[in-house]
Amino acid sequence: MEDTAATLAAELDRLLSMARELEARVDDDQGAPGAARELCAALAESVDRAMRLAGSSPRGGDGGGNAGTGRASASGQVKGGRKAAANKVRTQVRVASVMDAGPLNDGLSWRKYGQKDILGAAYPRAYFRCRHRHTQGCQATKQVQRAHADPLLFDVVYLGAHTCAQAAAVLAGPEQQPPAAFALEHQQSSPPEGIQWPVEPVTPPPFLSSPAGCYTPGSPWCELAGSYGYAAGGGLGADMEYAYDQFDEMFLNLPEVFQPDGPNL
């Protein structure tokens, strides 16, 4: 056990270093996708290994204020069409909202369809689905829940792949650029997401931004101070959790995740 723990620690440390290097490179040299990709690949590999080492309980740690029910993971079945999301790609992201940051979102059009109090959670969970669900059959949904441990942190879970034209447009951006960056440039097209919280949660897509402090021991979340452009220095954090085997693919081929024939659909 201790051996594994030590290895895990080393892996995570390495991960942190790479992440920081990646940040530095991307930061001062935006035209170096090659180097960035290399690092991303190594990063993904390292994270994957670390996660495997962490044990067979991906959600066991239950980071921070997450209700941690853990029941939404792929259960397969789904009879009457409900709980269909359980079948889909699950991507968990932790973001920090920033005061006065305004109604930022990930550049995609979401429509809130429900909110529910979650057992053991201090704050309700909000349910969103793609606005083009009916017109284009886009099955993507997301769940947003404030972490009770830190009211400024929001746990965002993306379920399912975006198949709508808008998502395709967003993801067709330059060089795997995170949709969030796109969103920042197109905020005016982002309708407000009504969540009954004082601050609007920023919900970056599943893509590593820039690390500051990474991986909280005992938690499945990876703390990543964001430089998504949301609020530099404003205290943005973004965590992410992926199904182990999906991590690399999602990380390196983000657009595929949102495409009709994504890696896990």
Least distance from C-beta 260 to DNA, angstroms? 18
Q: Which of 41, 72, 168, 212 binds DNA (CB under 7 A)?
A: 72
Residues 6 or more apart in contact with residue 29 via CB below 8 angstroms = 35
> Which amino acid is located at 35 in the chain?
A
Q: Does 186 bind DNA (CB under 7 A)?
A: no
- By the 8 A CB rule, do 155 and 149 touch? no
Q: Does 195 bind DNA (CB under 7 A)?
A: yes
Q: Does 136 bind DNA (CB under 7 A)?
A: no
Please write down the long-range contacts of 169-174, taking CB distance under 8 Å and 24 or more positions apart.
170/107, 170/108, 171/254, 171/255, 171/258, 171/259, 172/255
Q: Does 77 bind DNA (CB under 7 A)?
A: yes
Q: Which of 80, 174, 217, 233 binds DNA (CB under 7 A)?
A: 80
DSSP sequence for 73-84: S-----SSSTTG
**Which one, 15 or 144, has the nearer CB to DNA?**
144
Q: How many residues sit close enough to DNA to count as binding (CB under 7 A)?
A: 39
Q: Does 115 bind DNA (CB under 7 A)?
A: yes
> Which amino acid is located at 193 in the chain?
E
> Which residue's structure tokens are 């920090």?
96
Residue 250: which of 94, 87, 41 has the closest Cα? 41
- By the 8 A CB rule, do 244 and 50 touch? no
Q: Which of 20, 37, 112, 148 binds DNA (CB under 7 A)?
A: 112
Q: Does 188 bind DNA (CB under 7 A)?
A: no
Least distance from C-beta 161 to DNA, angstroms? 13
**Which one, 55 or 192, has the nearer CB to DNA?**
192
β-partners of residue 237 are 225
Considering only residues 157 through 176, tell me which ones interact with DNA, judged by CB under 7 A: 159
**Which one, 79 or 174, has the nearer CB to DNA?**
79
Stretch that binds DNA, among 65-73, 200-208, 221-229, 235-243 (CB under 7 A): 65-73
Q: Does 78 bind DNA (CB under 7 A)?
A: yes
96 phi and psi angles, rounded to 5 deg: -110, 135
Q: Which two tokens stand for residue 40?
A: 């991303």
Q: Does 69 bind DNA (CB under 7 A)?
A: yes
**Which one, 105 or 227, has the nearer CB to DNA?**
105
- By the 8 A CB rule, do 235 and 98 touch? yes
Residues 6 or more apart in contact with residue 134 via CB below 8 angstroms = none
Residue numbers at the binding site for DNA (CB under 7 A): 67, 69, 71-72, 75, 77-85, 111-121, 125-127, 129, 131, 141, 143, 159, 191-196
